[in-house]
Amino acid sequence: MKGGKKILIDSATRISELMNGFNTAFPFLRIEIYRKGEAVSLGHRDFVVFEIANIVNPKGFAIEGDMKVNEIEKLFLENLGLEISIFRKMGTSEVETTYTSLWTLNHQNNKGEEIHLAI
């Protein structure tokens, strides 16, 4: 990320803070968090991430721009027991990054920006 910025997820991080921080760092990407297969609803966005964790002893971690999507998915699952999806903006729609999960967040975001500028 620019300036080595990190998104820290710890015992005090609220879901809304995580999502806003992610959107600020990667304006052409969006993260969605799932608990037990269901997307975390707007009404739960003020919960602390550790409160919705699906494991007994959740652990904190950091997200950085040089990390691959599949690495971040693994961190959420192993440290919080939560699944995530990362979407890249493509014009007025979004696509899930499933087929490009080996790309870093920076690369995903740059591709989203390229598409945005080309439209």
- 3 pLDDT above the threshold of 70: no
- 23 pLDDT above the threshold of 50: yes
DSSP state at residue 38:
E
∠ CA 48-109-92, rounded to 5°: 90
* Locus of tokens 């439209």: 119
Where residue 59 falls (left for φ over 0; alpha for ψ -120 to 50; beta otherwise) is beta
Query: pLDDT digits over 33-71, tens only?
Result: 999 889 997 788 899 999 999 999 999 999 999 999 999
CB neighbours (10 Å) of residue 118? 7
Rounded to an integer, the average pLDDT of 74-90 is: 96
Q: Report pLDDT for 33.
A: 95
